[in-house]
Structure 1
Amino acid sequence: MFLKKRKALTLGFTVTIAFLFIGSCGSFLKDADETGPIARVGESYLYKEDIASLLYDGMTKGDSATIVTNFINNWATKQLLLTKAKINLPEDKLAEFDALVADYQTDLYTRAYKDALVQQAADSMVTETQLKRFYENEKENFRLQERLVKIRFVQLPKRFLNKDEVTKRLKSFKKKDIAYLDSIGVQFKKLNFNDSLWVSASRVINEIPPLTLENQDKYLKKSQFFELEDALGVYLAMVTGVLQVNDVAPLSFIEPTIKQVLINRRKLNYIRQLETEVIDEAIKEKEFEVYAHED
């Protein structure tokens, strides 16, 4: 019990000293030697440049003092606890942690280096031929998890006078109908006339709130026209295509995913080749050797 109290008092004393030391940090930092430390714990030193990023023009002396004091005290606490950990933890545990730190550092450096090389060398262009070939070979793996639809729709204000005319034009959708709808489009709250794109049912439901997961079977059917209404307005929609759950996803819908898969595979292949070349070159230059040994 006495030991615990003594450790706590020691830590509290260190924090207090740091506060008094930097209490007027605005003037201290200006007058401090550019290369001199501003705090010390054992053999570890904290310098002015270590805290420069914490301060900016326009800060009050009080704010800067608080920020710098907190940073110094946090730094000191970590240094003191680290010192105690190295003294009190078992040697095998310290060795284990040192190995983990070394592995992490190695992984961090090598990953950053490989990423930089990949960015420079790996080709990110994917041709239509490559997309189609991959799609044809793997299409069974692209089964839909939700319904897709092709749809055109408009949202009208609740008391829109020409609703019947808009309905007729939206159903017919010939060139003259499209021209008419475009001409009055500024009167619509929402509109989507691009019914050549496949979109997910969940996205359509987000755009047309009266349409729900529960009632979508009733309305999202091929060649179905529907009218729904809520407090925000009237929704007129024409469904021109439907794909159901477990149908094969169309290439146009899955294309971004395929493109990313192909690029990722290309990067992995490049990294494997790079690793092989590094080993081969090191062996050739006699920088890497494996010595024979007997078991």
Structure 2
Amino acid sequence: MKKTVIIFSILLGACSPQPEGDLVAEAFGNKLYSAEIAKVVGDDLTFEDSVFITKEYINVWLSKQVLLNKADEVLTAAEKDKSKALEQYRLDLLTYEVLNKLANQQLDTSVDEEELQEYYDNNSDEFELSQNILKIIFYKIPKSTKDANMLWSSFKAGDESVTGMLKDLAKENGNYYDDDQSWVYFDDILKEIPINTYNQEHYLNNNKYIQLDDGDMVYFIKILDFKIRSTTSPFSMERSNIRDILVMKRQQKLVRSIETKLLDEAYSKKQIRTF
């Protein structure tokens, strides 16, 4: 009961005579106060999430105190001295930061289409689909639409003259998607269209034109193309990823070049030497 009251005190920002807030936990002489926990509990969280984070923070803090106390008992003075490791970590961070800053100042981030396509062609094994994808168009219109059956017949027959009418109906009363060039994930389509299937691959292989009822509305759907998971992802979906890869490789090459150049300059100016 006491623990619950403390958690409520933290979440509700109860006043405390001490600036650090109420004492929440204590371990081996170390104390945890509510003000410290309040810093990590965001205002935009739900009450349940806030309670969970508060409990977790207290449990992690207590666990760490127990382990640190055991470290004092078990580890030698040399084993507890991490000053050299911390200094090495600081130096590694500084060299990483300076090399990346210098590289980014010189980095050319433009990548032409030929480079992108060449990388894709030579490294297609890197681009395996983890999900099923498809090209699709659909129109969601009222069932009560005049001549709905005729519109469906024309749509299914590939008559593009009804496209404008379907689009207008969907704009006014429902929803539509008519980007016939872009690949989309089937899982994302299932969030928009109430397709019931336990086997996406079977569904894609056996359906092209689909009429699907949804209450007072009806979907006219056409699957234009599809690719199954574990096959090669199309270039258009990987274009942005490939650009990032190529720019990263350029940056890595620049980092190595800059490091070598700085070393050579220091040698030539006799700022460094070996014995």
Q: TM-score, normalised by structure 1?
A: 0.62
Deviation at 1:237, TM superposition (A): 1.1
Q: Which amino acid aligns with 1:237?
A: I
Q: Kindly indicate whether the alpha-carbon contact (under 8 Å) linking 2:133 and 2:226 is maintained by their aligned counterparts in 1.
A: yes
Deviation at 1:114, TM superposition (A): 2.7
What secondary structure, in the 3-state scheme, does the structure 1 residue paired with 2:103 have? helix
Note the 1:51-90 alignment, pairs <5 A: 65=19, 90=76
Q: Are residue 182 (structure 1) and residue 167 (structure 2) matched?
A: yes
Q: Are residue 127 (structure 1) and residue 112 (structure 2) matched?
A: yes
| 1:210–1:175 distance in 2 versus 1, CA, 3 Å | closer
Please list the CA deviations of residues 231-279 of structure 1 after superposition, one character each: whole Å capped at 9, or x if unmatched.
6953331111122334332211221221111111111111111111121
Deviation at 1:188, TM superposition (A): 4.2
4+ long deviations beyond 6 Å? 61-64
CA–CA separation in structure 1 for the residues paired with 2:258 and 2:111: 21
Q: Aligned residue for 1:261? A: 245
Please list the CA deviations of residues 164-184 of structure 1 after superposition, one character each: whole Å capped at 9, or x if unmatched.
344345435555322222322
Matched length: 226
Q: Kindly indicate whether the alpha-carbon contact (under 8 Å) linking 1:149 and 1:240 is maintained by their aligned counterparts in 2.
A: yes
| 1:90–1:127 distance in 2 versus 1, CA, 3 Å | same
Q: Are residue 164 (structure 1) and residue 146 (structure 2) matched?
A: no
Please list the CA deviations of residues 174-233 of structure 1 after superposition, one character each: whole Å capped at 9, or x if unmatched.
553222223223234321111221222222222223343x14244323771112345695
CA–CA separation in structure 1 for the residues paired with 2:268 and 2:131: 55
2:258 to 274, 280, 294: 274
1:221 to 192, 205, 212: 205
Q: Kindly indicate whether the alpha-carbon contact (under 8 Å) linking 2:154 and 2:162 is maintained by their aligned counterparts in 1.
A: yes
Q: Kindly indicate whether the alpha-carbon contact (under 8 Å) linking 1:222 and 1:242 is maintained by their aligned counterparts in 2.
A: no
Q: Aligned residue for 2:86? A: 101
What secondary structure, in the 3-state scheme, does the structure 2 residue paired with 1:237 have? strand
CA–CA separation in structure 1 for the residues paired with 2:147 and 2:108: 53
Q: Aligned residue for 2:135? A: 150
Q: Aligned residue for 1:57? A: none
Q: Aligned residue for 2:220? A: 236
What secondary structure, in the 3-state scheme, does the structure 2 residue paired with 1:227 have? strand
What secondary structure, in the 3-state scheme, does the structure 1 residue paired with 2:88 have? helix
Q: Are residue 207 (structure 1) and residue 195 (structure 2) matched?
A: no
Q: Structure 2: which 5+ runs fail to align?
A: 1-14, 25-29, 33-67
Q: TM-score, normalised by structure 2?
A: 0.65
**Identical pairs, percent:** 24
Q: Please tell me the root mean square deviation across aligned C-alpha atoms, in Å.
A: 3.9
